[in-house]
Structure 1
Amino acid sequence: MAQLFFPKEIRDLEHRIAATPETVKKLIAAGYQVSVEAGAGEGAFISDDNYTQAGATVGDDLKSLYEAADIVVKIQAPQHHPGLDVHEAELLREGSTLVASIVPQNALDAVRIMMDRKVSAFSMNLIPRITIAQKMDTLSSQASLAGYKAVLLAANQLGKYFPLLMTAAGTITPSKVVILGAGVAGLQAIATAHRLGAKVEAFDIRAVVKEQVESLGAKFIDIPVEDAEDAGGYAKEQSEAAQERQRKELTKRLANADVAITTALIPGRPAPLLITEEMVAQMPAGSVIVDMAVEQGGNCALSEPGKTVVKEGVTIIGELNIPSLVPIHASQLYARNVLNFFTHLTHEKEFQIDTEEAITDGSLLTHEGECRHELTRSLLEEN
């Protein structure tokens, strides 16, 4: 019977946890033993007693908990643990398994350690975009929450109403919101801004999302682009000429916008630059930008990771971990994604690593001392 361990996240401002009492019960029913680090659920308002009542063992001897674990499940990639003065990846027992939302290019040190320790590391971020894997898609579940919260962050900073307001003192026109990127986060941002009464426009280089954008009440900004979608359904990097055409049109739209929310990411690469310093300078004083791609370099040239700054009279929000601002539901959704992942890979009450199986093959980052992810291998060689 495999031992699962859920440690407390140590990254600053990370309040989520990868297990809830609901999923703990189901994992135990599936044949696993479950342990949780004391205090791990506090950020999501889950007490240690909640976990023990669900059947988990709660402990505070972190090194012993790691040593006893066959599989460690967390949200953030392993990093240096300040309390123990050791890297979390070094706490993993040699030959054990890790399941986490690892962005490989941002965690090369952890990848190297896990290769040395022959850890089988699964990245929830690398789960392939196929129908059977939708219920395990942590990127989508967390992006939806982030898109919702990003609009509220913008509304909180904006010195205007979002909706149309007609009063005896006169009429207040609705705020204008521009959403750049219409993936899961962008679509949820569109829906939220529309519900709040804003006038919403949205742009995505994938013209196929136009119908979805318009169905949510927004106007699609139609700019001719190159072939813009890869086989996995993600946006592809565009040529400089194409990007220049986009910037020219978006400059016009942003010059009249009260809020801009950027969500554009390209897997394995820095976030594309969508809003230049010159474009920011042309936005109205008091307007707001929420750069949801700031952790991958940012879609706005002036955003600063983890900071809210005012530049050229525009407030630019660079919140690093927006889903963690909604920790209760973010933990519930992530934990259910994890449960579905384990359900798929558990056979006869055993977690099986079958490298020929599609989801395993796509999400298995390191295994038996090797890095299986092509882009990460090339980055390891370069660095």
Structure 2
Amino acid sequence: MDGRPVEASIISGGTTLRVPLARPLQPGAAVTVQQDFSVAIPRSLAGSPGLFGYFNGILTLDCFYPVIPVHDDSGWHIGPAPDGGDHTFLDTSFYLVRVKAPASMTLATSGVETARSVDGADQVVTFAAGPARDFFLAGSDKYAKMSATSGETTINSYYLPGLEGGADTALKTAVEALETFNRRLGEYPYTELDIVPLPLQGGGIGIEYPGIFGVAASVYPLELTLKTTVAHEAAHQWFYNAVGNDQINQPWLDEAVSQYFTGLFFLDTEGPAGWNRSLTEWRNFWNRAGSAPIPIGLAVGDYTLNRYGPIVYGRGPLFLNALAAEIGQAVLDECFRGYYQANIWGITTTASFQAWFEACSGRDLDAIFSGWVMP
């Protein structure tokens, strides 16, 4: 710490390193902590969701570095996350990442490339990202890419051999998604967005990170599923990254909201038929849990694995549709735009979400929130 060795302790089941300060850190002050570490990269997909390791010639590095956990009124948010949902809850940070990798490997990461050099058979590439809640890297010597622009943003759609058609669909969908969400919410905050095929398995077909998202390679031949996944993960750039929330304890705030905006994307691009298809899909998904009136605002660990998806991804967007019916679609649209603008780079909660929409709409929403969101 600040150039001097310190004795740290491992706590919370081996997931947390507590580093003692020489003196209390005052607001606005800074301390520099340096940590050297190594990580063994898995090479077998057995029992893996495909997010961390080197599988089928693809390197995926999810949650591969130490992070400072969120600290709020409830203390430090530490400890292992439950299975079934996202595993991180982070503040925004700025990242400067230097990667040394074989020159043959195409790299896709959060942020933008700022420098590049050659070191023998290796490339040394520097990436800068931020504000951002995470940093993700994927790489493969099999990757190629096609690109397009949406406003000031370059969109790169990476692909594997034989998946060029799917990559083109993903690219066009992402362009339309950014146009929809830019108009409905506010401008996408970065100059680059990357879409990368990953060897995802175990039911996961998409995963969001700042400025980049992954889509299961198996989805690329399935046009409608691919478009739905791309639109949903693009919406996460607004909800999870720009507007943050506790993805472990209040996952509906990004997952249900991103799901709802996926429906609005299809409304904007396909008209009522696209919107009605989304409504049907949400109802069918909720029906996997027997259409039970289980609250959508619980923590990931409070749901059984077979109910988390149907409630948060199925009943969740249906709640927002019911909220639109309660306060009016035009009012909801305007409130969401203000919500995004007011909370960008911050962290929202169920309570602050309800308070915002009550103030914006001028309505007491206790009854509808009690019936849908919280017990």
TM above 0.5 = no
Which TM-score applies when normalising by structure 1? Answer: 0.22
What's the TM-score, normalizing by structure 2? 0.23
Q: Considering Cα pairs closer than 8 Å and 6+ residues apart, tell me whether 1 or 2 has the greater RCO.
A: 1
Higher helix share: 1
Q: Which has the higher strand share?
A: 2
* Higher alpha-carbon Rg: 1
